[in-house]
Structure 1
């Protein structure tokens, strides 16, 4: 098994996603929000790139679908939900399908659309994500959403934690690329103060100034749930680590 890390969705490593299990990470906030939504009973999350695409999908799906997204961290005017995990409680999302578009996070899923398997990982589900990835038996590519194609500290630290968890449970030799080794080394100094890291990083400071500082406390929670958002026919749906044992490795991800 090999672990590789792409430091942004524009990293050339994303072009070689075919045949691999991919974990998309956008700690602040998309993959945290997606995980929270599915933990609270959401039927599925459809990640899309643009506002117009999101509106078109909701119109096609009709009743029982929520339109969600942000630009510049703020909820888009006329949308049902933004990108704050605080908005995705059980009373709001249970049984609903959510069409979500964000500035960086949802675009990451399309960047690796040729992968054999795609999941969303955050601190909320990092140990479950590690177990799920191990269960596929596939080589692993961890893709940091970044910000407009640039390196983001929090996403790389999240990648390092995920790598650390995979190595802890490995029952076979694992080869880590230089990028994977670097991510794990960057995680280690922050492992006991993830919230401090989130509050001090560039994007964490920016969203705090916009009034979303409380989101960071959710984004910094570790192993809140064992739900793993897994891409299936264009939807991210709730799975758990044991489900990976029966994963069909012969079929690529198919987007609707």
Structure 2
């Protein structure tokens, strides 16, 4: 079994075995919290399109931070009930989820690092851990994010098999900061930005290592987005309404 760490959408579009999506601040962390509570989550790459998807499915759409109710802020999702369904829009982790061509796709974070490694190993395929990264303002190109490489390294550290140099490098970063994960996240650009916006608690939740054995696993409905009333204008530019609807379910190991 080969273990590799890669960045961004292209890695998922080319994946053939098992993929683990890592968007530590905050999609992966939020999803791990919600799935631990037993929720089913529909990812979508844009907020407006996510609201349309939620309306078509007659379920809720998670709001933006600072709005009341459920949001991408992980603590708000700790109150969801088993079986609750909602759409979780995100330009990074959610968007990658809709693009994955991997045979099996999971979501990993620091909170479920070992469980994610175990779930991926059970599939018996080569594993690519895909760090989502951020987007540069302006051209929208990929900006590698420290927090995603840190969490990818944590997951890779619990995997056996032949590791690529990229995987070893991510593990080295994780080991270097393992004793103070919160300090590491608060020191990176994404963590500082959240703390400055009064969301330091989000960073604190994201820094917790192996606190859940729940691993969100991507599933596919037989229905397409078009079947429920979505149109091309509702979709991100790299998606078609003819694609089948995807959602994450709880996988407790």
The interval holding the TM-score normalised by the smaller chain is 0.7 to 0.9
Report the alpha carbon displacement of residue 69 of structure 1 after superposing the two structures with TM: 4.2
CA–CA distance in structure 2, aligned partners of residues 145 and 215 of structure 1: 18
Question: What aligned pairs does 1:184-195 form with structure 2 within 5 A after superposition?
Answer: 184-195=171-182
Match of residue 183, structure 1, among 150, 170, 177: 170
1:116-154 Cα offsets, whole Å, 9 max, x none, are 000011111111111111111100011111101211111
Match of residue 93, structure 2, among 105, 108, 119: 105
Match of residue 15, structure 1, among 9, 13, 16: 13
CA–CA distance in structure 2, aligned partners of residues 232 and 104 of structure 1: 18
Question: What aligned pairs does 1:20-59 form with structure 2 within 5 A after superposition?
Answer: 20-42=17-39, 44-59=40-55
CA–CA distance in structure 2, aligned partners of residues 188 and 14 of structure 1: 26
1:52-93 Cα offsets, whole Å, 9 max, x none, are 32122111111xx221143xxx35x6x852200110123x44
Match of residue 248, structure 2, among 211, 236, 245: 236
CA–CA distance in structure 2, aligned partners of residues 35 and 146 of structure 1: 18
Report the alpha carbon displacement of residue 214 of structure 1 after superposing the two structures with TM: 1.1
User: Normalized against structure 1, the TM-score is what?
Assistant: 0.82
Partner of 1:153: 146
3-state secondary structure, aligned to 1:193: helix
Task: Say how many residue pairs are matched.
Answer: 222
CA–CA distance in structure 2, aligned partners of residues 125 and 13 of structure 1: 22
Root-mean-square deviation (Å): 1.6
CA–CA distance in structure 1, aligned partners of residues 11 and 189 of structure 2: 24
User: Normalized against structure 2, the TM-score is what?
Assistant: 0.83
CA–CA distance in structure 2, aligned partners of residues 36 and 15 of structure 1: 26
Question: What aligned pairs does 1:214-233 form with structure 2 within 5 A after superposition?
Answer: 214-233=201-220
Report the alpha carbon displacement of residue 231 of structure 1 after superposing the two structures with TM: 0.6
Q: 1:66·1:81 contact (CA, 8 Å) conserved in 2?
A: no
Partner of 2:74: 85
Question: What aligned pairs does 1:128-207 form with structure 2 within 5 A after superposition?
Answer: 128-148=115-135, 149-167=142-160, 174-207=161-194
Q: 1:108·1:143 contact (CA, 8 Å) conserved in 2?
A: no
Report the alpha carbon displacement of residue 195 of structure 1 after superposing the two structures with TM: 0.5
CA–CA distance in structure 2, aligned partners of residues 51 and 136 of structure 1: 32
3-state secondary structure, aligned to 1:47: strand
Range with greater deviation from structure 2 (22-31 or 80-89): 80-89
Partner of 2:236: none
Consecutive unaligned residues of structure 1, counting only runs of 5 or more, are 168-173, 242-256
Consecutive unaligned residues of structure 2, counting only runs of 5 or more, are 136-141, 221-245
